[in-house]
């Protein structure tokens, strides 16, 4: 029961609230258990004995007890809800922190919808269990045990007849909840799958519409929705067959009490008050079984949810700073060495980079050319440790990146990713994403270099223009330029442009290149590009093929030594003579 143990740890933060709620619950239970005794006394000592003083006294006591019950019912509900909301708050925060820290490889292999389900509906499942389940469990056990003892003490023969029925009820309940347990796990899992489809479609609505795939997607959603519906119906089925059976049995128990007890009252072997009290205790005996059933159901849901939550919490963060990691700040030069690097994506068998060796001296620019899928993005992603090398090492200023403090490393390596990801917010907020306190001047400088300033000024509210999710409202080339500005504003020593100018027209690209040139003079840069014009001024040009460097040198070197390079140049000259020569 690892889930319970960890849940209790989580609960211990709110121990005073929990203890308060528990004590309140016990007081409520005690008032419940004492009430039938008072009724018995009311009937036997008051009504039967025709003693009006006793009636008044007992009534007053009953009213006081009702007030006490009311007050502690309130404190119990209030404190237990507060504690459970606290647990949910902590869980959500911990989960979010973990999701933020988990490596790329984790996010590569987990779907957004599933993760969303865990962070929302699974957390709620666990919360409800702690709000209601745990305390009710204790109260139910106390009520159940207390009632049995009182029943046996008052009329043990009658009590034993009743207990036979109770055992039957317990068996039926056990049956119900043994079936429900695994069903809830499946319901949650399928809810996650449904959320995946939902999320994919909302996010990719343009693609769906562009390919007129609405019908097919609707069908896919419908199918999954149907599976979820069917599973929920299975749950309902178990409930709707099980519960009437339990009701029938509990009515039977009441009948036995009235029949056998009634005979004894007539035979004067038992007082009427005792019979009434006995019947009330019977209710107290059956009620906790219902409660236990619900708690078992909450428990199985909470357990399924808890397992999914803790699975994420327990996932090892593959890429993190070592205990004695070296801080890269301030004195970084930006000398980068790849030493015999081989890299295989986690979970894959084929290396995507093989035996890569490279020395990029501080302040130089390295360009990478290669066909799609050749491994260029994988190559540069090793520098900020988005992934770790499988063999060999990547060093900055002679230190293996794995020995560097991760935040400082990533701060010094500015990456313009291939897929531009903007956030919803203003243009300025997007540019300042990596440096919230950037001055207007810094922002504008970065935007001028990135050739973004002019188009931003033409937007309705300039830098304060609100962008939709993912930067909607901007063209692809505009988004790319914002992403470049966003990286420049941080002033990292090392810059990586992963195909960052592909959506920019050739004229703008030429301007961008000219503006970047002085900026890059004291930065180490990696530029992945398709156009020769973008890379021809680089200090080293690498041609990557199937994860290996097949050619390297400057533009002039390669023109003499590499037929492959000459072929690429020629093919682009044919396409675009003017732009290739603008530089």
Q: Rule CB under 5 A: is residue 377 a binding residue for Mg ion?
A: yes
Binding letters toward ligand ATP, positions 105-134, x by CB under 6 A: ---x--------------------------
The SS3 call for residue 471 is helix
Other CB atoms within 10 A of residue 373 CB: 11
Integer-rounded Cα Rg, in Å, for the chain is 36
- Angstrom distance (rounded) from CA 43 to CA 59: 11
- Angstrom distance (rounded) from CA 512 to CA 42: 94
User: What part of residues 368-387 is at the interface with ligand ATP (CB under 6 A)?
Assistant: 370, 372-378
Of the two residues 147 and 500, which places its CB atom closer to Mg ion in the complex?
500
Q: Are strands 336-343 and 540-545 parallel, antiparallel or unpaired?
A: unpaired
Of the two residues 24 and 374, which places its CB atom closer to ligand ATP in the complex?
374
What is the DSSP-derived secondary structure letter of residue 404?
Answer: B
User: What part of residues 62-91 is at the interface with ligand ATP (CB under 6 A)?
Assistant: none
Q: Rule CB under 6 A: is residue 535 a binding residue for ligand ATP?
A: no
What is the DSSP-derived secondary structure letter of residue 582?
Answer: -
Of the two residues 318 and 429, which places its CB atom closer to ligand ATP in the complex?
318
Q: How far is the CB of 418 from ligand ATP (least distance, A)?
A: 5
Q: Rule CB under 6 A: is residue 348 a binding residue for ligand ATP?
A: yes
Do residues 525 and 541 make contact, with C-beta atoms less than 8 angstroms apart? no
**Residue owning tokens 């896919």:** 220
Other CB atoms within 10 A of residue 59 CB: 13
Q: How far is the CB of 499 from ligand ATP (least distance, A)?
A: 6
What is the DSSP-derived secondary structure letter of residue 504?
Answer: S
Please choose which of Mg ion, ligand ATP, none residue 133 contacts, taking the beta carbon within 5 to 8 angstroms, the exact cut-off set by kind.
none
Please choose which of Mg ion, ligand ATP, none residue 372 contacts, taking the beta carbon within 5 to 8 angstroms, the exact cut-off set by kind.
ligand ATP
Contacts of 207 (CB under 8 A, 6+ apart): 213
Question: Applying CB under 5 A, which of residues 418, 465, 554, 582 lies at the interface with Mg ion?
Answer: 418
The upper half-sphere exposure of residue 339, i.e. CA atoms within 13 Å in the direction of its Cβ, equals 10
Of the two residues 274 and 374, which places its CB atom closer to Mg ion in the complex?
374
Q: How far is the CB of 207 from ligand ATP (least distance, A)?
A: 18
What ranges in 109-213 are assigned the alpha helix state H? 112-117, 123-128, 134-154, 156-203, 205-210
Q: How far is the CB of 374 from ligand ATP (least distance, A)?
A: 4
Please choose which of Mg ion, ligand ATP, none residue 478 contacts, taking the beta carbon within 5 to 8 angstroms, the exact cut-off set by kind.
none
Please choose which of ligand ATP, Mg ion, none residue 374 contacts, taking the beta carbon within 5 to 8 angstroms, the exact cut-off set by kind.
ligand ATP
Of the two residues 242 and 375, which places its CB atom closer to ligand ATP in the complex?
375
Of the two residues 234 and 418, which places its CB atom closer to ligand ATP in the complex?
418
Binding letters toward ligand ATP, positions 478-517, x by CB under 6 A: ---------------------x------------------
What is the DSSP-derived secondary structure letter of residue 400?
Answer: E
Of the two residues 321 and 530, which places its CB atom closer to Mg ion in the complex?
530
Q: Rule CB under 6 A: is residue 418 a binding residue for ligand ATP?
A: yes
- Angstrom distance (rounded) from CA 150 to CA 145: 9
State the DSSP H helix or E strand holding residue 496, giving kind and residue range, or none if neither. Answer: strand 494-498
Q: Rule CB under 5 A: is residue 500 a binding residue for Mg ion?
A: no
Other CB atoms within 10 A of residue 54 CB: 16
- Angstrom distance (rounded) from CA 75 to CA 73: 6
**Rule CB under 5 A: which residues touch Mg ion?**
377, 418
**Rule CB under 6 A: which residues touch ligand ATP?**
108, 345, 348, 352, 370, 372-378, 418, 499
């Amino acid at each position: 029961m690892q889930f319970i143990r960890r849940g209790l740890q989580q609960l211990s933060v709110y121990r005073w609230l929990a203890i308060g709620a528990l004590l309140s619950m016990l007081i409520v239970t005690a008032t419940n258990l004492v009430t039938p005794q008072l009724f018995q006394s009311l009937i036997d000592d008051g009504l039967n004995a025709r003693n009006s003083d006793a009636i008044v006294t007992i009534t007053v006591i009953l009213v006081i007890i009702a007030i006490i019950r009311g007050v502690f019912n309130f404190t119990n509900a209030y404190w237990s809800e507060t504690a459970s909301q606290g647990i949910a708050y902590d869980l959500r925060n911990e989960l979010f922190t973990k999701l933020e820290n988990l490596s790329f490889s984790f996010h590569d292999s987990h779907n957004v919808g599933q993760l969303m389900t865990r962070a929302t509906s699974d957390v709620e499942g666990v919360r409800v269990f702690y709000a209601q389940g745990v305390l009710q469990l204790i109260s139910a056990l106390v009520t159940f045990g207390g009632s049995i003892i009182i029943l046996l003490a008052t009329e043990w023969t009658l009590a034993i007849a009743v207990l036979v029925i109770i055992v039957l009820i317990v068996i039926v309940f056990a049956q119900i909840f043994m079936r429900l347990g695994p069903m809830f796990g499946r319901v949650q899992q399928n809810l996650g799958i449904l959320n995946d489809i939902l999320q994919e479609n909302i996010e990719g609505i343009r693609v769906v519409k562009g390919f007129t795939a609405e019908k097919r997607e609707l069908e896919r959603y419908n199918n999954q929705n149907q599976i979820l519906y069917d599973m929920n119906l299975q749950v309902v089925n178990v409930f709707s067959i099980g519960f009437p059976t339990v009701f029938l049995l509990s009515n039977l128990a009441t009948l036995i009490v009235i029949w056998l007890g009634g005979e004894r009252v007539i035979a004067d072997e038992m007082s009427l008050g005792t019979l009434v009290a006995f019947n009330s205790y019977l209710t107290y005996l059956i009620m906790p079984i219902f409660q236990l059933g619900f708690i078992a159901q909450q428990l199985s849901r909470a357990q399924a949810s808890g397992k999914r939550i803790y699975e994420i919490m327990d996932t090892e963060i593959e890429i993190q700073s070592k205990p004695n990691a070296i801080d890269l700040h301030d004195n970084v030069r930006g000398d980068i060495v790849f030493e015999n690097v081989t890299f295989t994506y986690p979970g894959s068998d084929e290396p995507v980079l093989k035996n890569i060796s490279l020395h990029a001296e501080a302040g130089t620019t390295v360009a990478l050319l290669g066909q799609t899928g050749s491994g260029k993005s994988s190559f540069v992603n090793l520098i900020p440790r988005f992934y770790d090398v499988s063999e060999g090492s990547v060093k900055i200023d002679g230190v293996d990146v794995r020995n560097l403090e991760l935040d400082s490393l990533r701060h010094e390596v500015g990456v313009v990713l291939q897929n531009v990801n903007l956030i919803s917010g203003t243009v300025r907020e997007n540019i300042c994403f990596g440096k919230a306190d950037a001055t207007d001047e810094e922002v504008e400088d970065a935007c001028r270099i990135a050739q973004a300033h002019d188009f931003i000024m033409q937007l309705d509210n300039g830098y304060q223009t609100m962008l939709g999710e993912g930067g909607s409202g901007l063209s692809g080339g505009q988004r790319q330029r914002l992403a470049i500005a966003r990286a420049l504003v941080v002033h990292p020593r090392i810059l990586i442009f992963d195909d960052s100018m592909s959506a920019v027209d050739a004229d703008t690209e030429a301007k961008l290149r000219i503006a970047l040139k002085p900026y890059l003079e004291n930065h180490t840069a990696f530029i992945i590009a398709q156009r020769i014009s973008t890379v021809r001024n680089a200090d080293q040009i690498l041609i990557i093929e199937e994860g290996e460097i097949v050619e390297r040198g400057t533009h002039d070197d390669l023109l003499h030594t590499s037929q492959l390079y000459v072929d690429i140049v020629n093919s682009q000259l044919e396409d675009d003579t003017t732009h290739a020569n603008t530089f």
